[in-house]
A and B are shown apart, each in its own frame.
Chain A
């Protein structure tokens, strides 16, 4: 049993800290909303700055231009970025897509996309959900019909994060109607701007745009842009979802630590009838309790990380980690709103807003987290059926 970072990882953490000191996150323009997961806002400029350090491709095989660094370097990087509140929004999606391309991708995807990703120029949206296919993903209707060397995709995707400002979509579509329920699906890398693609913003309850819906009206895609063998998309997607839950939530614990520090600072400096709020026993207890919750969250992610690193089978570990991450996020946001009282709901930029209105933003965005990427209900069922071997309810 060893919980220590290696000397290499410690040294890398110091490098990242230095980078952050030299590249203060607030100097980078945000071009897409911070969805509150902990990876900050979408910023192309910051992504390029990360790319300049070679960090987008650092774990790839050398043959694809990588440095073959161990996976834990990614965790070290994300922890440091999340603790600093850096806008690295697109990074986890870039990493995951690159991993999939390295594993299943055609020559063309490898030779064209990997260098773009490494330079921080390619970002991705996920086209999974549809209006009639949310928790029941396999009810999706989007079809990709083979036509010579191309596929022609027709359908309607929704809840695609940052689709309007990304470079490519990962579109999950049915390629065979005959095949059994879970077979007959494939994944396609579709460049934004392809003829027949109509991307429309959905204004979220925060007042900003994070999600888009995408209409695909006979969008023609070369077969080389299919990611993985035809009909095997679902297996790849399931594996992908396990790592999606992991990479999409790993930075939540350090990000929540950051929020907690802000709340502690607020409680220490806010006077109530001459006494710091921090002296209120209930406030103290709730803040300490939240720190315990965040520590608990962190252990689940590190355990899942060790399993991923060692290539051990994952049945429920990332599902339970995501459930806890998003419920802990809601708890911390609620605690923040309770501490701030009447100031809590004031928006960023409003007169009298406390903590830059970040708590109100977190409170709103965390509402979506227990729904996105598999609802907590679906995931608890996954834990019970895949993890504990309980009978499927179907």
Chain B
């Protein structure tokens, strides 16, 4: 139900021309579309019904985001409605949850996560940004997605007690942002904190206890980004097969040549395995079973396989897919960007390495 609604909605409201426009546009987010999405209740998918959400599971999120990936939709959904919403749901006080989760669920509030720094790593051990609470925060975060539309920043900092989470309104005095130009058209930013005032009320959870909620939100983010990759790869498969059926060269559709047939067969293999591992991991997470290894496997595999789909897709399409107006390259670059978020392949494979017992 959710999937068919999403598919139809996105087919209508997120056609390739619009995706193209948003990618080229500096702002790149359609507020009207976000409002429409909010009316459908999607941002409240993970929020408790008592707070205005629909109380869905991470498996529902994955099915929905897969469709967003298929449509190549640019939106703050994953950072706001999945990652920061998960953070609040596990670490937020009753008051924070009541105030913020309902606003996130209704889509009025958009939040994003500021985690990565100059080390270019999302590993909590690499978080160096120090903060005293109460006190002033000075330093920077990088690769912060959709910071230009977010009213709320979830910031991972290091206190004396350990890793902590802060929630700051993005317009607080001393916070500035600078756009980083990404080939995928996704909007990402450097955030600079210059003596920003922080009080105990700005904390999300107790001092030094940010690690656990961050880990679970991180898993939700990894699953959602994997779903985007799978949706994107399915889109490329559909486009490539359609092209192979209709493009005539040498007097026959190119899909009649074995070289193209076998390339298409490999696309199917890569999409099916990526989706299978994704659903298995999401199902385990939704059931509350240990899922860290499955998520790492799913993401590592999708990063490899879905990117291979994208590259093979270009080869099947030939020169046409080298054009900016052709939809393929943006789906490709979106997959590429997703493959790096919430743990790149190297870090996922290290999780797998430990799970199989390598010392």
Binding site for B on A (CB under 8 A): 1-4, 260-261, 264-265, 267-268, 276, 278-279, 284-285, 287-289, 291-293, 295-297, 299-300, 302-303, 316-317, 320, 323-324, 377, 379-381, 383-385, 387-393
- B256:A390 contact, CB within 8 angstroms: yes
237-270 of chain B: CB within 8 A of chain A: 241, 244-245, 252-253, 255-258, 260-262, 264-266, 268-269
Extra contacts, 6 of them, besides A299-B280, A393-B257 (Cβ < 8 A), are: A287-B353, A287-B356, A291-B355, A295-B301, A390-B241, A391-B253
Question: Cα distance A279–B300 when bound, in Å?
Answer: 20
A292 touches B59 (CB 8 A): no
Contacts of A303 in B (CB 8 A): 272, 276
Measured CA separation A351–B7 after assembly (Å) = 62
Tell me, in angstroms, the Cα distance from A387 to B265 when the chains sit together.
Answer: 9
B279: contacting residue among A1, A284, A288, CB under 8 A: A1
Bound complex: CA of A291 vs CA of B358, how far in Å? 12
Nearest-CB residue, chain A, relative to B355: A291
What are 30 sample pairs from A and B whose C-beta atoms fall under 8 A apart? A3-B280, A4-B287, A264-B356, A264-B357, A278-B358, A278-B359, A285-B353, A287-B358, A288-B300, A288-B356, A289-B349, A295-B301, A296-B277, A299-B277, A303-B276, A320-B272, A323-B265, A324-B269, A380-B258, A384-B260, A384-B262, A388-B241, A388-B265, A388-B268, A390-B244, A390-B245, A390-B253, A390-B256, A391-B253, A392-B256
User: In the assembled complex, which residues on chain B have CB atoms less than 8 Å from the CB atom of A393?
Assistant: 256-258, 261
Q: A383-B268, A384-B261 known; A292 and B301 CB under 8 Å?
A: yes
Distance in angstroms from A297 CB to nearest chain B CB is 8
* Chain A, residue nearest B255 (CB): A390
Q: A384-B261, A391-B253, A393-B257 are in contact. Are A291 and B272 (CB under 8 A)?
A: no
Q: A299-B277, A388-B241 are in contact. Are A3 and B356 (CB under 8 A)?
A: no
Q: Which 6 A-B pairs have the closest CB atoms?
A: A299-B276, A384-B261, A390-B255, A383-B265, A296-B273, A380-B265
B284 within 8 Å of A by Cβ?
yes
Q: A288-B350, A380-B262, A385-B261 are in contact. Are A296 and B356 (CB under 8 A)?
A: no
Q: Shortest distance in angstroms between B257's beta carbon and chain A's nearest beta carbon? A: 7
Interface residue ranges of B292-335 to A (CB < 8 Å):
294, 297, 300-301, 304-305
Q: Enumerate chain B residues within 8 angstroms of A4, measured Cβ to Cβ.
A: 287
Contacts of A297 in B (CB 8 A): 273
User: CA A2 – CA B279 in complex, angstroms?
Assistant: 10
| Contact pick for B352, options A265, A288, A320, A380, CB 8 Å | A288
The answer to whether B59 touches A384, judged by C-beta atoms less than 8 angstroms apart, is no
Interface residues on B, range: 35 or more
Q: Is the CB of A284 within 8 A of B276?
A: no
Give Cα distance in the complex from A388 to B268, angstroms.
9
Bound-complex Cα distance A288 to B352 (A):
5
A388 neighbours in B (Cβ, 8 Å): 241, 244, 255, 264-265, 268
Residues of B within 8 A of A377 (CB): 258, 262
Determine the chain B residues whose CB is within 8 A of the CB of A299 once the complex forms: 272-273, 276-277, 280
B283 at the interface (CB under 8 A from A): yes
Q: Is the CB of B297 within 8 A of A381?
A: no
Collect the chain A residues with CB atoms within 8 Å of residue B261's CB: 380-381, 383-385, 390, 393
Give Cα distance in the complex from A377 to B258, angstroms.
9
| Chain B nearest Cβ from A255, distance in angstroms | 16
Q: Which residues of A lie under 8 Å from residue B304 when comparing CB positions?
A: 292
Q: Which residue of B lies closest to A388 (CB)?
A: B241
Docked CA distance A16–B122 (Å) = 44
**Which residues of A are found within 8 Å of B245, using beta-carbon distances?**
389-391
